Structure 1
Amino acid sequence: MPTSPRSWPLWTTSTSRGTALTLFAAAWLLPFAWTLLSSLQSEQDAASPGLSPIKGPLTLQAYRDIFDGGNVPIWAFNSVLITGAVTVITVVVSTLAAYGLSRGTFRGRRALVAVTVAAILVPPQLLIVPLFQQMLAFNLVDTYWAVILPQTVAPMMVFVLKRFFDAIPRELEEAARLDGASDLQVFRSVVLPLSRPIVAAVSVFVLIGAWNNFLWPYIVTNDPDLMTLPVGLATVKDTFGLVYAQSMASAVVAAAPLIVVFLFFQRRVVRSVATTGLGGA
């Protein structure tokens, strides 16, 4: 007669979980390891057939070709500047909008919430043409603002923040108002300190999305000095067909800053996602 899972030894459950997590980690690390090892091959070795990513001696030639063929320091600076601006503006605007939708009593609030939810369902690709025409009308094409401003509209982040604000007890805010605090002071002194996990999680997801965004910066910028790192690295091409080693090296260079950020803020990121459930949103 089979035993129920509750009667299984604790070490068996722990071992099963550890094995499952190890398999998931290996499944995630294998493509990255393959990309890294392939980037350390010569173009001839990287293009040669075979199941192993190492087909010859290790070399940094692909990375040299990338840095020699493009202005990587300027592209990296642009990515840091644009990603930082998008993250700050998006978090500030989204938190204020979410708090207004959560606590506001103005006419049309429910309709505005419905529009926000509906906007989540709109694919960003559908907005490329009208957004580009808008940037042309404001004479912002080939500027930092053309890359930054359209990325600061994040209906998903507004909705997630609103759901979190809805769960905060209103009694805490009423107590602050009895002490003479204004709405802005209540938001800054009461709501935001209680919302640090969700704000941190939203910041991380916005930062990752802004850093990895390729399509919009590629469309709205023609000046090489305004390109972001993903766009600039995509322009480093060889005239002799597809270059596997350089493509892999470009992927590693573009992903390396995010990996470093995650390693430094790993605990905060994991805690924020675990406590808010944003990873499943």
Structure 2
Amino acid sequence: MKRRFGPGQVVLLVVTAALAVVWLLPMAWAVATSLKPEADTVDIPASWVGEEVTLEAYRLVLGTGDILTWAVNSTVVAVIVTAMVVLFSAMAAYGFARTQFRGQRALLAVVLAGIFVPPQVLIAPLFVQMVALGLVDTWWGVILPQVAAPVMVYILYKFFQGVPPELEQAAFVDGAGRWRVFFQIVLPLSRPVLAAVAIFTFITTWNNFLWPFLVSTDPNTMTLPVGLANVVQGTFGVRYAQIMASVVLAGLPLLVVFVLFQRQIVRGVAHTGLAGQ
């Protein structure tokens, strides 16, 4: 049967298509600029295509820095941060949602208040702590400050509140303890939201530039965004083609992640309620 679209659906499709074009234009411009000779990137008026299509910017970026090492560093950091955020946020959220203790509401309010604190405000005290602990230019110096994720605690807290408590009570009757219930019953039921939290955390950690840039000066510990930023810095002005080439290279892994896990992302957004925010 042919599907008929009403006027409202047609308007929605047109608006969605227009927004998709607006979202894709910067990406298309970045790719087009990265394929231009450096001299053509400052032409006025600007054009989508230069005098020739060249991969020179990619060759210079890949040849100047240690892209493989930085990519491995980014992967290791993002995976560890994601695993720690999912585990610790789930434990904290479940504790707030299912246990009663003195000062629970006050402590929950303190945790959720962290959502409203801009990360830039914490840069100076965090850096002082990393220096005092001797974690500058180490992976742990990059990883640990990114583990605190109040927004993920809130998302999981709201989800756990919707889990039927009867399932846990039945397990308690059978002799299961709190930890066993958490790991064998609650977490398996929470796979969609856990997958969404993991993917969002991975993407955020991979894209994070400011903190790794401040705490990493050793090329062997730099993440991919930091390393590529150092590559395109020069004494001969801004090199737009190389900047755009580095942006494309840094974004390719995230594009692959989205293509592979787009179903989990959409399902997780539906379960977390982020679509309505």
Band the TM-score falls in, shorter-chain normalisation = over 0.9
Deviation at 1:254, TM superposition (A): 0.8
Query: Match for 2:249 among 244, 248, 253?
Result: 253
Relative to 1, partners in 2 of residues 1:243 and 1:217: Cα closer, same or farther, differing over 3 Å? same
| Structure 2 unaligned regions, length at least 5 | none
TM-score (norm. length: structure 1): 0.94
* 1:136 equivalent in structure 2: 131
Deviation at 1:80, TM superposition (A): 0.4
Distance 1:36 1:274 in 2: 32
The question of 1:244 aligning with 2:240 is answered yes
* 2:26 equivalent in structure 1: 31
Distance 2:276 2:115 in 1: 15
* 1:18 equivalent in structure 2: 13
Alpha-carbon displacement from aligned partner over 1:109-164 (angstroms, at most 9, x marks no partner): 11110101111111111111111111111111111000001100001110111111
* 1:263 equivalent in structure 2: 259
SS of match in other structure, 2:108: helix
Distance 1:116 1:101 in 2: 11
Distance 1:13 1:130 in 2: 51
Please tell me the root mean square deviation across aligned C-alpha atoms, in Å.
1.3
Q: How does 1:79-228 map to 2 (within 5 A)?
A: 79-228=74-223
Deviation at 1:48, TM superposition (A): 1.2
**Is the 1:46–1:53 Cα contact (8 Å) retained in structure 2?**
no
Deviation at 1:10, TM superposition (A): 4.0
Query: Match for 2:65 among 44, 67, 70?
Result: 70
* 1:6 equivalent in structure 2: none
TM-score (norm. length: structure 2): 0.95
Distance 2:194 2:79 in 1: 15
**Percent same amino acid at aligned positions?**
51
Distance 2:68 2:183 in 1: 37
SS of match in other structure, 1:265: helix
Point out 4+ residue stretches in structure 1 off by more than 6 angstroms: none
Distance 1:120 1:16 in 2: 35
Instruction: Look up the equivalent residue of 1:102 and give its one-letter code.
Output: A
Distance 1:185 1:53 in 2: 59
Instruction: Look up the equivalent residue of 1:243 and give its one-letter code.
Output: R
Deviation at 1:279, TM superposition (A): 4.6
Distance 1:187 1:267 in 2: 25
Distance 1:233 1:144 in 2: 18
What number of residue pairs does the alignment pair up? 273
Distance 2:5 2:128 in 1: 61
Distance 1:97 1:212 in 2: 25
Distance 1:280 1:88 in 2: 26
Deviation at 1:50, TM superposition (A): 2.1
Alpha-carbon displacement from aligned partner over 1:195-253 (angstroms, at most 9, x marks no partner): 11211111111111100100100111110111000000110123210111011111111
Distance 2:154 2:275 in 1: 14
Instruction: Look up the equivalent residue of 1:224 and give its one-letter code.
Output: P
Instruction: Look up the equivalent residue of 2:256 and give its one-letter code.
Output: V
